[in-house]
Structure 1
Amino acid sequence: MKHIKTYNAKELKTPYGAVIIEGPISPDKLSSFEFHEDLTAFRPAFQQHKALIEIAGLEEGRIIIARHHNTIIGYATYLYPDPLERWSEGNMDNLIELGAIEVIPKFRGCSVGKHILKVSMMDDAMEDYIIITTEYYWHWDLKGTGLNVWEYRKVMEKMMNAGGLVWYATDDPEISSHPANCLMVRIGERVDQQSIQQFDRLRFMNRFMY
Structure 2
Amino acid sequence: MIHTKNEQMKTIKLETETIIVKGPVSSSTLSELTMHFDLCAFRPPNQQLEALKEIAELEEGRIFIVERNNTIIGYVTFLHPDPIERWSLYKKENLLELGAIEVANEYRGLHLGSTLIELAMIDPFMENYIIISTEYYWHWDLTQTKLSVWDYRKIMEKMMNAGGLRPMPTNDPEIMAHPANCLMVRIGENVSDSDRQRFDKIRFMNM
Q: Equivalent residue for 2:11?
A: 11
| CA displacement, residues 37-71 of structure 1 (integer Å, 9 cap, x when unaligned) | 11011111111110000000000000000011210
How many aligned residue pairs are there? 207
* Structure 1 unaligned regions, length at least 5: none
Q: Equivalent residue for 1:60?
A: 60
Q: TM-score, normalised by structure 1?
A: 0.96
Q: Equivalent residue for 1:77?
A: 77
| CA displacement, residues 5-63 of structure 1 (integer Å, 9 cap, x when unaligned) | 00010012335622100000000001100111110111111111100000000000000
Runs of 4 or more above 4 Å deviation = none
Residue 151 of structure 1 aligns to a residue in which SS? helix
| CA displacement, residues 123-166 of structure 1 (integer Å, 9 cap, x when unaligned) | 11100000000011111111111101100000110010001000
Residue 4 of structure 2 aligns to a residue in which SS? coil
CA, structure 1 residues 26+92, in 2 after alignment: closer, same or farther (shift >3 Å)?
A: same
Q: Equivalent residue for 2:91?
A: 91
Letter paired with 1:203:
R
- Identity level (%): 57
Q: In the aligned structure 1, how far is the partner of 2:185 from the partner of 2:90?
A: 16
| CA displacement, residues 102-142 of structure 1 (integer Å, 9 cap, x when unaligned) | 10111110011111011101111100000000011111111
Residue 90 of structure 2 aligns to a residue in which SS? coil
Q: Equivalent residue for 1:139?
A: 139
Residue 31 of structure 2 aligns to a residue in which SS? helix
> CA contact under 8 A between 1:133 and 1:184: conserved in structure 2?
yes
CA, structure 1 residues 133+162, in 2 after alignment: closer, same or farther (shift >3 Å)?
A: same
Letter paired with 2:176:
S
Q: In the aligned structure 1, how far is the partner of 2:155 from the partner of 2:102?
A: 13
Q: In the aligned structure 2, how far is the partner of 1:202 from the partner of 1:124?
A: 26
Query: What pairs with 1:100-119 in structure 2 (closer than 5 Å)?
Result: 100-119=100-119
* Structure 2 unaligned regions, length at least 5: none
Residue 52 of structure 1 aligns to a residue in which SS? helix
Query: What pairs with 1:1-210 in structure 2 (closer than 5 Å)?
Result: 1-15=1-15, 17-206=17-206
Q: In the aligned structure 2, how far is the partner of 1:29 from the partner of 1:172?
A: 37
> CA contact under 8 A between 1:14 and 1:110: conserved in structure 2?
no
Q: TM-score, normalised by structure 2?
A: 0.98
